[in-house]
A and B are shown apart, each in its own frame.
Chain A
Amino acid sequence: MKIKRIGVAAIALAAAGALVLTGCTSGSPESTDGASSSAVITTNGSEPQNPLVPTNTNETGGGKILDSIFAGLVYYDADGAPHNDVAEDISTDDAQNYTIKIRSGLKFSNGEDVTSSSFVDAWNYGALLSNEQLSSYFFESIEGFSYDEDSELTGLEVVDDTTFTVKLKQPESDFPLRLGYSAFFPLPESAFDDIEAFGNNPVGNGPYMLDGEDAWKHNEKIDLVVNPDYDGPRAAQNGGLDIVFYATQEAAYADLQGGNLDVLDAIPDGALSTFQDEFGDRSVTQAAAIFQSFTVPDRLAHFGGEEGKLRRAAISKAIDRGEITDVIFSGTRTPAHDFTSPVIDGYSEDIPGSDVLDFDADAAKDLWAQADAISPWSGSFQIAYNADGGHQAWVDAVANQLKNNLGIDASGAPYPTFAEVRTAVTDRSIQTAFRTGWQADYPALFNFLGPIYATGAGSNDGDYSNADFDALLKEGLAETDLDAANAKFQEAQEILFQDLPAIPLWYSTVNGAYSESVDNVQFGWNSVPLYNEITKSE
């Protein structure tokens, strides 16, 4: 009896399998077409790494969503220039005391009013030590901020519903430039009742809002619809935004090719050489606010003092940046001409001293020989990098060029993971040169200089210190005129070119593409598409 059943079952299974297969293959095309009846933009993203609280989001997966559902005091246009959004006027006489007026009558998508308290309370929440917010350091220049204990930002004062004042610890002329960053977004009062629930279902004041309670389908996607209450310069030109989370860039690219995605802001390495042919004028390649370098700390043998200066200059001149960006990155990086990025207001290609970045093998040999006269070189030169980040190719290329052009032993020193190399860099146990990079938080020259090269700065991984440089930064920060401030910062860069605390390599570019059904796709200064401006044909 049993025997019979198995035989029959096998045949039945085979038949059913055949039916399922044929049935589904003919059925699937219709099901994909049926979805796109309204003009909602579909784009790529990744599962936010943290709850969607503006002061606790420091990565692009969550940042992209927050920028869409919140409006800050200012926003940045495609060129990185700030314009007022919620703010009506931001004024200062001394770059230290600011008076901020916001537009009246603005609302969060839950109906709460946007008032000056919405900002002051949100900033205080973000800055408080015990709240453990990842972006708390953005508030460190406001009076009252402390890393050691819970303390109120005493520099913030609510004047009335639409006015508040900010007092900084010292003059910082680029403070208004920062105000478009997500850490400075306002929060509705209801957020503080249960910040955890809020992080899962945030309520903002931006051009979009979450599409209902369960809009965030974890690890899958988040659906945003147009916020009808938003009345500002970033009004949405489309019906909404579906951000689909991908674990790999390859999957997202396949979806763009397969017509399931409208806008893609990352092209996988494997497609970098072909995507421009495939998408033609629907492909985007644009410089990003990302600066790549490697740092040779003073403390390494032979890299201190005058000898170190000569050796760094020799190394810099021995690298043919153009060749590497062409051959290894197929043009998706641009050779560096300074320590910032071309998308930043005030950027200049020809700062005096920047010729140290030009390839010149003879000059490099000569500089290296001068250093050898001080103290003869011994050992090998190594550049540490994380092997999980696609860095091996360029590090090896740089090492090869150093080997050939300086006649020294040079190689890469791979660490298995990003966490590992960062840990070694942070606790200063690393005994080689190491890869460094910087992605700007807000579009300002100072953001590329102060946090990395100022004496004792948080990300000064090479422990660089130069009093003249520090002084110029300070002078720049005290200027109330942006151009005058930038002039000081460029002067400060001249010092960096002499000292080379990091050897500039190249700027990253953002590579993206979009489908035929969308138009007006522009990428912002931070390499994220300006989604609200995209239009889509039905």
Chain B
Amino acid sequence: MAGYIARRLLQAIPVLLGTTFLIYFMVFAMPGDPIVALFGDKTPPPQVLEQLRERYNLDQPFIVQYFIFLGNIFRGDLGTSFSGQPVSDILVTTFPVTLRLALMAVFIEMVAGITIGLISGLRKGGIFDASALVVSLILISLPIFVIAFVAQYIFGIQLGWFRTTVGPGAPTQDLILPAIVLASISFAQIVRLTRSSVLETESQDFVRTAASKGLARRRIVPVHILRNSLIPVVTYLAVDFGVLMVGATVTEGIFNVPGVGRTLYQAIIRGEGPTVVAFVTVMVLIYLVVNLLVDLLYAVLDPRIRYAK
């Protein structure tokens, strides 16, 4: 196991280098000069442009810029945004917010999705199953910004149950509505996933054996059916957590969540190379770690999976 983890971590190094290079290349290759755009419709004197390019190393060839960036990263310096804030400070303030939002969303979709999916699976073809199918299909087919705007309008503006956007400091109660919106789409997927998995498990021999040896239904369902149905769901949840951690740009924008997605979006719009690259680098790291954890989780849930040498 330890050897496996070490090998995976080693593999992560070239992945990280490759992705940062690609990202840096794409940001660099983005046509248009961000320094020119900084002045809006006005054309600044060329000397001023030159000075600013020099400050952000934009006057160097691309490959030099990349190595300057890489060198700085190893020294723990992620650069500064145009507003003079160290990018590491921005990371420190935004990631916890997104982490809380992601945890809440995953929690909501897990509890609601597994519960409803389980009931649907156990009462296949019933009214509950049918309505769960309709609801989940609607949620899956709606774009997230539609769900977000509708939820904001109904629950925030009309009913006043929630604050319309997330207030200063991103208090947890303000994050509930965006978390529900984020959870809604994955929730529908989890319902479908759990349902089919439950159906499959229910027809397995060990479930019939348990029933025929006289075990109570309320013991068979959670112990024999649910546990064995959870493997694909857990994978899905973990991957979804990774996706949410790297920022839900649209939802964070609509609810003005001061998290990773909104900050990255703004940095892209403003052409702030250092911020974009630093954020994406951290995102890649998170994604790599989450994926490793998912693989390890398999072994915990399913004893048949073993990671040998």
Segment of A244-252, A339-347, A373-381 in the binding face: A244-252
Contact of B33 among A29, A219, A246, A423 (CB under 8 A): A423
Contact of A11 among B112, B161, B222 (CB under 8 A): B222
A50 touches B36 (CB 8 A): no
Determine how close the nearest CB of chain A comes to the CB of B185; give it in whole angstroms.
Answer: 18
Contact of B6 with A by CB under 8 A:
no
| Residue numbers in A under 8 Å from B51 (CB-CB) | 129-130, 132
Contact of B32 with A by CB under 8 A:
yes
A147 touches B48 (CB 8 A): yes
State in angstroms the CA–CA spacing of A280 and B90 once bound together.
40
Contact of B204 with A by CB under 8 A:
no
Question: Which residue of chain B lies nearest to A221 when distances are taken between CB atoms in the complex?
Answer: B168
A419 touches B33 (CB 8 A): yes
Contact of B14 with A by CB under 8 A:
no
Interface positions, chain B 157-206, Cβ under 8 Å from A, are 157, 160-165, 167-174, 176
Contact of A258 among B108, B156, B172, B223 (CB under 8 A): B156
B222 touches A7 (CB 8 A): yes
Enumerate chain A interface residues (CB-CB to B < 8 A): 3-4, 6-7, 10-11, 13-14, 17, 21, 24-25, 27-29, 31-32, 35, 47-51, 58-59, 129-130, 132, 134, 136-137, 140, 147-148, 196, 199-200, 217-221, 244, 246-248, 250-252, 254-255, 257-260, 388, 415-423, 425-426, 436-439, 451, 458-461
State in angstroms the CA–CA spacing of A258 and B31 once bound together.
40
Interface of B is mostly: helix
A254 touches B164 (CB 8 A): yes
Q: How many A-B contacts if CB must be within 8 Å?
A: 204
Question: Which residue of chain A lies nearest to B104 when distances are taken between CB atoms in the complex?
Answer: A20
Contact of B111 with A by CB under 8 A:
yes
Determine how close the nearest CB of chain A comes to the CB of B93; give it in whole angstroms.
Answer: 7
B43 touches A260 (CB 8 A): no
A439 touches B55 (CB 8 A): no
A32 touches B36 (CB 8 A): no
B48 touches A10 (CB 8 A): no
State in angstroms the CA–CA spacing of A29 and B222 once bound together.
37
Beyond A248-B254, A420-B31, 7 additional pairs, beta carbon < 8 A: A10-B222, A28-B174, A50-B82, A132-B52, A251-B255, A260-B167, A419-B31
| Residue numbers in B under 8 Å from A436 (CB-CB) | 41
State in angstroms the CA–CA spacing of A217 and B166 once bound together.
14
Determine how close the nearest CB of chain B comes to the CB of A85; give it in whole angstroms.
Answer: 26
A31 touches B47 (CB 8 A): no
Chain A to chain B contacts (Cβ below 8 Å), 19 pairs? A10-B222, A17-B108, A21-B108, A28-B161, A28-B163, A28-B176, A49-B270, A132-B55, A134-B38, A200-B85, A217-B169, A218-B83, A415-B32, A419-B32, A420-B32, A426-B33, A426-B43, A438-B41, A458-B43
| Residue numbers in A under 8 Å from B34 (CB-CB) | 419
Determine how close the nearest CB of chain B comes to the CB of A461; give it in whole angstroms.
Answer: 6
Determine how close the nearest CB of chain B comes to the CB of A515; give it in whole angstroms.
Answer: 13
Question: Which residue of chain B lies nearest to A52 when distances are taken between CB atoms in the complex?
Answer: B83
Contact of B168 among A48, A244, A439 (CB under 8 A): A244
| Residue numbers in B under 8 Å from A388 (CB-CB) | 269
Q: Indicate with 1 or 0, residue by residue over B257-284, a CB within 8 angstroms of chain A CB atoms.
A: 0100011011001110000000000000
For the complex of A and B, the 5 pairs showing the least CB-CB separation, nearest first, are A419-B32, A258-B164, A420-B32, A7-B222, A419-B37
| Residue numbers in A under 8 Å from B254 (CB-CB) | 248, 250-251, 254
| Residue numbers in A under 8 Å from B295 (CB-CB) | none
Given known pairs A147-B47, A419-B36, A419-B271, the reply for A255 and B164 (CB within 8 Å) is: yes
Given known pairs A10-B222, A49-B82, A419-B36, the reply for A219 and B94 (CB within 8 Å) is: yes
State in angstroms the CA–CA spacing of A13 and B83 once bound together.
43
Determine how close the nearest CB of chain A comes to the CB of B146; give it in whole angstroms.
Answer: 13
| Residue numbers in A under 8 Å from B252 (CB-CB) | 247
Determine how close the nearest CB of chain A comes to the CB of B16; give it in whole angstroms.
Answer: 26
Determine how close the nearest CB of chain B comes to the CB of A432; give it in whole angstroms.
Answer: 16
A459 touches B43 (CB 8 A): yes
B44 touches A7 (CB 8 A): no
A50 touches B107 (CB 8 A): no
State in angstroms the CA–CA spacing of A480 and B39 once bound together.
31
